[in-house]
Amino acid sequence: MRTSYHEELNSVLDHLVHMADLVEIAIREASEALLTADLGRAEAVITNDAQLDQMHEELEYQCLSLLALQAPVAGELRTIVSAIRVVFELARMGDLAAHIAKIARLRYPAHAVPERFEPNFREMAEIAEKVIDVARLSLLERDAQGARTLATIDAKMDGLRRDHFTEIFREGSDIDVEGAVDVALLGRYFERFSDHAVAVGRRVIYIITGEVPEGVDWPNA
């Protein structure tokens, strides 16, 4: 019985890693759809998001069943409760990738991102892929040290978003209203995506060490 319980606990963590894989694909494809105005890619991200929502429901149910049937304590309790939160964060990250894809679809065949913002969004896309990759690896390898690097990477995302506003509101800027609104919302989605990765990292640190790490604020941007 205990063995099968531990197997199930490990299976939850494996499923989280798999879910993180899918989120990584989603944000990469959404970014590519956005930056190349690729309608097919955008549609695929939007369609595939249902799978992440389904995994959210199933994994949460699995965690609740484990809580109910096994009455875990200490580290195991911490793992299961944290897994519930991680699965939620990952599902939200999938939603945000789908939001990005939806803006790409809305503007197709035009590019949603005004040309001069492309390098900035290319960087945002790279950071988004980086944070989910680091979060996934920290889950896979139970690596608190890796998870701790997420806040630093996330700070770069916040910087890129500040650059948007500087450019949009710059005197003499000739950005049109549609472009400005798209940049503002897309920037928000990438920024939130990164925030959720930081939150995953915090949970991984909590699972491994049992302590809420000092100096890492909850993302509230």
Could you list the residues that contact its own copies (CB under 8 A)? 49, 53, 56-57, 64, 67-68, 71, 73-74, 77-78, 81, 84-85, 88, 95, 98, 165, 168-169, 173, 175-178, 180-181, 184-185, 188, 212, 218, 220
Minimum CB distance to its own copies, residue 170 (Å)? 10
User: Who contacts 185 (Cβ-Cβ below 8 Å, separation ≥6)?
Assistant: 99, 103
Minimum CB distance to its own copies, residue 194 (Å)? 16
182 SS3 class = helix
Of the pair 140, 181, the CB lying nearest its own copies is at 181
Cα–Cα distance between 17 and 76 in angstroms, integer? Answer: 18
Of the pair 44, 84, the CB lying nearest its own copies is at 84
* Cα distance between the two ends of the chain: 44
Tokens read off for 94: 């999938």
Closest CA to 81 of 195, 192, 206: 206
216 SS3 class = coil
Of the pair 117, 146, the CB lying nearest its own copies is at 117
Tokens read off for 13: 């963590």
User: Who contacts 88 (Cβ-Cβ below 8 Å, separation ≥6)?
Assistant: 56, 60
Of the pair 1, 73, the CB lying nearest its own copies is at 73
Tokens read off for 2: 């205990």
Of the pair 155, 184, the CB lying nearest its own copies is at 184
Minimum CB distance to its own copies, residue 200 (Å)? 14
Cα–Cα distance between 192 and 188 in angstroms, integer? Answer: 6
Of the pair 18, 85, the CB lying nearest its own copies is at 85
Minimum CB distance to its own copies, residue 31 (Å)? 19
Minimum CB distance to its own copies, residue 9 (Å)? 15
Minimum CB distance to its own copies, residue 93 (Å)? 12
Contact between 45 and 97 under an 8 Å Cβ cutoff? The reply is: yes
